[in-house]
A and B are shown apart, each in its own frame.
Chain A
Amino acid sequence: MKKNLKIFTFFLLVFCTIQGFAKTITVCSSCAVKTIQEGIKQAGEGDTVLVKKGIYKEVNIIIDKSIILLGENLPIIDGEDKGEIIKITADNVTVDGFKIINVGTSYTSDYAAVRVIKRNGFLIQNLELEKLFFGIYLEKSNDGKVLNNKIRGDAVNEYNSGNGIQLWYCKGVEVRGNTVENVRDGIYLEFSDNIKISHNLSRNNLRYGLHFMFSNHDTYEYNTFENNGAGVAVMFSKFIEMNNNIFKENWGTAAFGLLLKEINDAKITNNVFKENTIGINIEGSNRIDYKNNDFISNGWAIKVRGACYTNNFENNNFLYNSFDISYNSNLNDNKFDHNFWSNYTGYDLDKNGIGDVPYRPVKLFSYIVNRTPETIILLRSLFIDIIDFSEKVSPVFTPDNLVDENPKMKTINHDRS
């Protein structure tokens, strides 16, 4: 009889599992299941592990089944600086609604609050990460989503701090609505293609707000990058689209809004660059379209370092920058057309909204400052105005074909809301 009962129970259990309606396992300090790890162990494929409010001191939580790990009222997972906290090693895992704190710092391995390893279809959302080393680390994982997370680090030095969201060899991931503050790189992409980054806020980071390396066909739009150590860096990448972003207040000795290095065939449209030391720093970048951008009150709106060919600057507003464009050679293969320049002093006799005199955006003084940076102290001196004027009349040092033939007379209204 006893044996029969055992067999019956066994079959009942098997039956339930096969039946497969996703069950929910509740984890809380007064429940039967007290730790998240235990909850995951008991769960089957497709189940939900619901974690109630409380503090869970756990590290190395490995999710190796397709489950939904759901936090209710933001339970806290405290890693006590011991190492990695959540590791996802299964497809289609959702992690939602946790506050994860105290990720261990290491000089030999990159501990992360949440790590996904070689898996597809993950969804990581509504997390709050604090006191972290690396935040969300995606490793060779595709077609997932990272949404609405808040990452707030306390990075002081570059060498012992990690990145907020890191993608390494990933494809087709969407990163949307995240806030990343005070880490090394806000969002970092390496060898990652077809990534969509939108509506994020990345600020006060030690190094870059967003950093691309060897990543192609990516899009980032409607993001705000504010007061980062050196703005946004896009390096060694192709076919990147940068639209409707705001780059502002990236101030400092080596800061810029956007750094382009070895970038080809990109599109930069509808962005706002405001109060950066250098708006865009371009080096070795070809075939890029700059359209409908606003450059407002930057030190240098655009600094061209060399080896930049067939770039197109159209319909941009250059407002009150100390220098609009700076070149370090007198060769030019880039096109400037139909921009508005607040320093333009020409006239428009036929009233068609386009100035009758071409505008030369490169001043002699910006050329001099490039050569001898200390001369910046003479900025806005009367003597400098005089030599700028004489250079404008007959260019010797600056590229003489670098002109905007059709400068606009009025600020171009880009209608941003």
Chain B
Amino acid sequence: MLKILKYSFYDLMRSRWSYVYFLFYLLLGIVLLFLNNDLSKAVITLMNVIIILVPLIGTIFGVMYYYNSREFTELLLAQPVKRSSIFLGQYFGVATSLAMSLVIGLGMPFVFYGIFNSNAIWDFSLLLVTGAFLTFIFTALAFVIALRNENKIKGFGYAILLWLFMAVIYDGIFLMSLLYFEDYPLDKFSLVATMLNPVDLSRVLILLKLDISALLGYTGAVFQKFFGTNFGLVLSSALLALWVLVPTFFIWRIAKRKDF
């Protein structure tokens, strides 16, 4: 598996798209930090990028990579290699290279800006860690979709739909249900509903580090009490990890049974 991971990783590292992705983050970081005189605004923009763009790119890139390397995959399948290691290797190769582009691309401008000397280092690393998590989660989901659908168009359609659901529609349904049941105590429900969607979970984790004063209103206190403690942080990380593990398990299972 490691060998295949290495091959896909190097393959991607040489590809144009990784560079474009990397350069995009580098440029974004530089523009935000050095051409914008307000840091707090920069960090908020960065958060929007991480919770919207990272899942989108992870999904599209994952699906695209799978369909593009189909011939290579079929070639590999003819060799005496375990099936699970082929697909998992490809998955980790894609996800790792994407996460690396993100972390290095955004990290470099911040290092030059002097993040090590400021106490924002923890907030910033949280931003990068959630970004990396989201990359892994959505690439895995994309692989599951691609493995399930032979038809490219269908696969892309489902992938986009998945992203749209997680990033927008889920929140819409969430908001509607909150408004509909407003006569009932809702803090537990909203906590659970937030934890179930990785995009929402990352958003709230980052927000609690940034917009803390708004969230500290009398209802915000409930969330702050939960996510602000070590227990909440550990639980959130565990849930994000679970979001990586479950689709990875599905990749492994589908790959084992799939006919080519």
Contact residues of A with B, CB < 8 Å? 251-255, 275-278, 297-300, 320, 322-323, 342, 368, 371-384, 386
B11 within 8 A of partner (CB): no
Q: A275 to B175, alpha carbons, bound, how many Å?
A: 27
Which of A372, A374, A378 has the most B CB atoms < 10 Å from its CB? Answer: A374
* A373 engages B168 (CB within 8 Å): no
Given that A372-B178, A378-B171 are known contacts, is A323 also in contact with B219, CB under 8 Å in the complex?
no
A364, chain B: closest CB distance, angstroms: 11
B234 at the interface (CB under 8 A from A): no
Looking at B89-97, B152-160, B209-217, the stretch in contact with chain A turns out to be B209-217
The minimal Cβ–Cβ distance linking A229 to chain B, given in whole angstroms, is 13
Chain B nearest Cβ from A237, distance in angstroms: 26
Closest-CB distance, B185 to chain A (whole angstroms): 9
Residue among B44, B190, B217 making CB contact with A299, cutoff 8 Å? B217
Is there contact, CB below 8 Å, between A320 and B217?
no
Known: A382-B167, A383-B171. A275 touches B213 (CB 8 A): yes
Which of B51, B211, B219, B221 contacts A322, CB < 8 Å? B211
Contacts of B215 in A (CB 8 A): 299, 376, 379
Inter-chain pairs besides A368-B179, A377-B200, A377-B204, 10 sampled, C-beta below 8 Å: A251-B212, A277-B216, A299-B214, A322-B214, A342-B41, A373-B218, A376-B215, A381-B200, A381-B203, A383-B172
Contact of B232 with A by CB under 8 A: no
User: In the assembled complex, which residues on chain A have CB atoms less than 8 Å from the CB atom of B169?
Assistant: 383
B213 touches A377 (CB 8 A): no
B17 CB–A CB distance under 8 Å: no
The answer to whether B167 and A372 have CB atoms under 8 Å apart is: no
CB neighbours of A298 from chain B (8 A): 213-214
The smallest C-beta distance from A11 to any residue of chain B, in angstroms, reads: 74
Partner of B40, one of A300, A320, A373, A377: A320
Contact assessment for B178 and A384 in the assembled complex, using a CB-CB cutoff below 8 Å: no
What is the CB-to-nearest-CB distance from A312 to chain B, in angstroms, rounded to a whole number? 26
Are A297 and B178 in touch, CB under 8 angstroms? Answer: no
Q: Are A374 and B171 in contact (CB under 8 A)?
A: no
A50–B51 CA distance with the chains assembled, in angstroms: 70
Known: A381-B200, A381-B203. A251 touches B213 (CB 8 A): yes
* B248, chain A: closest CB distance, angstroms: 26
A275 to B210, CA, bound (A): 12
Which of chain A's residues have a CB closer than 8 A to the CB of B220?
253, 376
CB distance from A380 to the nearest CB of B (A): 6
A383 and B214 within 8 A (CB): no
Nearest 9 pairs of A and B residues by beta carbon: A299-B214, A322-B214, A383-B171, A373-B219, A299-B213, A374-B186, A372-B182, A253-B221, A381-B171
Interface hits, B174-203 → A, CB 8 Å = 174-175, 178-179, 182, 186-187, 189-191, 194, 200, 203
B204 nearest in chain A by CB position: A377
Q: Say yes or no: A253 contacts B175, CB within 8 Å.
A: no
Q: Known contacts A371-B182, A372-B186, A374-B187: does B216 contact A379 (CB below 8 Å)?
A: no
Give the docked Cα–Cα distance between A322 and B211 (Å): 7
B52 on the A face (CB < 8 A):
yes
CB distance from B246 to the nearest CB of A (A): 23
Q: Which residues of B contact A342 (CB under 8 A)?
A: 41
Q: Which of A277, A322, A384 contacts B171 (CB 8 A)?
A: A384
- Residue-by-residue, is B35-57 near A (CB-CB < 8 Å gives 1, otherwise 0)? 00010110010011001100000
Complex Cα distance, B221 from A275, in Å, reads 16
Whether the Cβ atoms of B168 and A380 lie closer than 8 Å is no
Bound: A386/B52 CA distance, A: 13
Q: How far is the CA of A377 from the CA of B212 in the complex (A)?
A: 12
Contact B216 A251 (CB under 8 A): yes
B40 touches A299 (CB 8 A): no
Q: Does B223 sit at the interface, judged by CB under 8 A?
A: yes
Tell me whether B207 is interfacial, beta carbon within 8 Å.
yes
Contact between chains at A376 and B52 (CB < 8 Å): no
Among B171, B179, B217, which residue has its beta carbon within 8 angstroms of that of A253?
A: B217
Bound complex: CA A300 to CA B200 (Å)? 22
Are B216 and A377 closer than 8 Å at their CB atoms? no
Name B191's closest neighbour in chain A (CB-CB).
A377
Q: A377-B204, A382-B167 are in contact. Are A277 and B178 (CB under 8 A)?
A: no
Which residues of chain A are within 8 angstroms of B179 by Cβ–Cβ distance? 368, 371-372, 375
CB <8 Å contact, A380 and B203: yes
In the complex, the chain A residue whose C-beta lies closest to that of B221 is A253
A378: chain B residues within 8 A (beta carbon): 171, 174-175, 200
Are A379's CB and B207's CB within 8 A? yes
Q: Of B40, B48, B200, B213, which one neighbours A277 at CB under 8 angstroms?
A: B213
Whether A382 lies near B217 (C-beta < 8 A) is no
Q: How far is the CA of A276 from the CA of B214 in the complex (A)?
A: 8
Q: Would A380 and B207 count as touching, CB distance under 8 A?
A: yes
- Which residues of chain B have C-beta atoms less than 8 A from A251's C-beta? 212-213, 216
- Report A127 CB to chain B, min CB distance, Å: 35
When chains A and B are docked, how far (Å) is the Cα of A254 from the Cα of B221?
10
B214–A382 touching, CB < 8 Å: no
Could you say which of B38, B47, B51, B178 has the most chain A C-beta atoms within 10 Å of its C-beta? B178
Residues in B whose Cβ lies below 8 Å from that of A368? 175, 179
Instruction: Give, as a whole number of angstroms, the nearest-CB distance from B91 to chain A.
Output: 26
What are 11 A-to-B residue pairs whose CB atoms are below 8 Å?
A253-B217, A276-B213, A298-B213, A299-B213, A320-B41, A368-B179, A374-B189, A376-B217, A377-B191, A380-B207, A381-B171
Contact with A along B56-84 (1 / 0, CB 8 A): 00000000000000000000000000000
Find out whether the CB atom of A297 lies under 8 angstroms from the CB atom of B47. Answer: no
Q: Check if B203 sits within 8 Å of A277, measured CB to CB.
A: no
Contacting residues, chain A, for B51 (C-beta < 8 A): 382
A-chain residues with CB within 8 Å of residue B174 when the two chains form the complex: 378
Complex Cα gap A253–B212 (Å): 11
Q: A372-B179, A374-B187, A386-B168 known; A379 and B223 CB under 8 Å?
A: no
A373 partner, pick from B171, B191, B194, B217, beta carbons under 8 A: B217
